């Protein structure tokens, strides 16, 4: 569905994720409307619950712990850049925060969830950690269907 983003994630799968890719604010193939962002959040939550079941874990109530997956998924769909710190990774589009996991308990428990740590963003540890999420996120991107645009009304 969104081949442009699959190319970006394929580069990551090839080990080419770096701080430059994280910070590159590009346009995504899906417009970041409130409706599309909510559809992506619901879709990510459903996939996060499936992942828990696959791993024999309790089914999560929210996207707590999913911020790396959500940030890669959102960047693939909506573009923007990836930002964050040790406790939370999120997206920025045109400088504005877009966080699919914003309503999660782990994010709500943070004093300053949207601060930036350039040192972490440049770290090979973060890059490797994100790279491990790519195969699953590639499947999410391929399966995501954005809401149909409402047609003309009679």
Domain that holds residue 40: 3-143
Domain count, the chain: 1
Is residue 148 included in any domain, yes or no?
no
pTM for the model: 0.85
Residue range 38-68, pLDDT digits in tens: 999 999 999 999 999 999 999 999 999 999 9
Residue range 133-146, pLDDT digits in tens: 988 988 998 899 76
Is residue 150 included in any domain, yes or no?
no
Asked whether the beta carbons of 134 and 13 are under 8 A apart, the reply is yes
Interatomic CA distance for residues 95 and 59, integer angstroms: 33
Is residue 138 included in any domain, yes or no?
yes
Is residue 153 included in any domain, yes or no?
no
């Amino acid at each position: 569905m969104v081949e442009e983003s699959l190319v970006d994630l394929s580069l990551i799968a090839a080990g080419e994720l770096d701080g430059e890719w994280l910070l590159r604010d590009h346009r995504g193939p899906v417009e970041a409307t409130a409706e599309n962002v909510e559809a992506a959040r619901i879709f990510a939550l459903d996939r996060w619950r499936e992942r828990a079941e696959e791993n024999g874990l309790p089914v999560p109530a929210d996207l707590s712990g999913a911020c790396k997956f959500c940030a890669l998924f959102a960047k693939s769909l909506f573009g923007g850049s990836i930002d964050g710190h040790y406790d939370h990774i999120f997206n920025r589009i045109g400088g504005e925060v877009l966080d699919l996991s914003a309503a999660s308990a782990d994010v709500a428990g943070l004093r300053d969830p949207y601060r930036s740590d350039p040192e972490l963003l440049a770290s090979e540890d973060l890059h490797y950690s994100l790279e491990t999420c790519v195969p699953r996120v590639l499947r999410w991107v391929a399966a995501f269907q954005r809401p149909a645009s409402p047609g003309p009304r009679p």
